[in-house]
């Protein structure tokens, strides 16, 4: 760990019905060997917009102040709700040279900024597209069930 920077575990749930324990537990193998005082867990629960995600705002401030060495997140969509928001967060991560680990069976974060930026954008576009397809399918199912 460089200069007493922290390893941050960030988890977010979209609703109060979701449990973030799986996200937090998935980080545990990556925390072995790191002193407890150098680990910080930040969570957001059922927040309707990014500006209301106090945990995310705290995380971004820590990154801006060069206090983060490694960020551990379950999936890319836990960090951002839109492509443009993810662009901003990714730029901040690259600018401050934060290591990123995704624990939810995702493709690894590309540490090379020039190539990685394009690769990260492609991953997020795929996620957004998949999310839209699922949402449209669920709407069609609900509509089909109506009398």
Whole-structure pTM value: 0.77
Is pLDDT above 70 for 1?
no
Sign of CA dihedral 71, 53, 89, 19: positive
C-beta atoms surrounding 89 within 10 Å: 21
pLDDT of residue 114: 66
Quick one: fold of 6-145? Rossmann fold (3.40.50)
Pairing of strands 99-102, 68-73: parallel
Locate the domains of the chain by residue range.
6-145
The tens digit of pLDDT for each residue in 92-129 reads 999 999 999 999 876 777 766 666 666 677 667 666 66
């Amino acid at each position: 760990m460089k200069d007493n920077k922290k390893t941050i575990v960030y988890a977010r749930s979209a609703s109060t019905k979701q449990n973030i324990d799986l996200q937090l537990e998935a980080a545990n193998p990556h925390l072995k060997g790191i002193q407890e005082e150098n680990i910080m867990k930040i969570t957001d629960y059922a927040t309707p917009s990014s500006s209301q995600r106090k945990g995310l705002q705290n995380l971004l401030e820590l990154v801006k102040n060069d206090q983060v060495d490694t960020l551990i997140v379950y999936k890319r969509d836990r960090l951002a709700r839109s492509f443009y928001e993810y662009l901003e967060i990714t730029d901040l991560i690259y600018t401050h040279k934060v290591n990123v680990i995704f624990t939810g069976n995702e493709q690894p974060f590309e540490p090379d900024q020039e190539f990685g930026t394009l690769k990260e954008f492609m991953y997020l576009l795929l996620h957004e597209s998949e999310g839209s397809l699922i949402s449209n399918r669920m709407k069609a199912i609900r509509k089909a069930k109506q009398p």
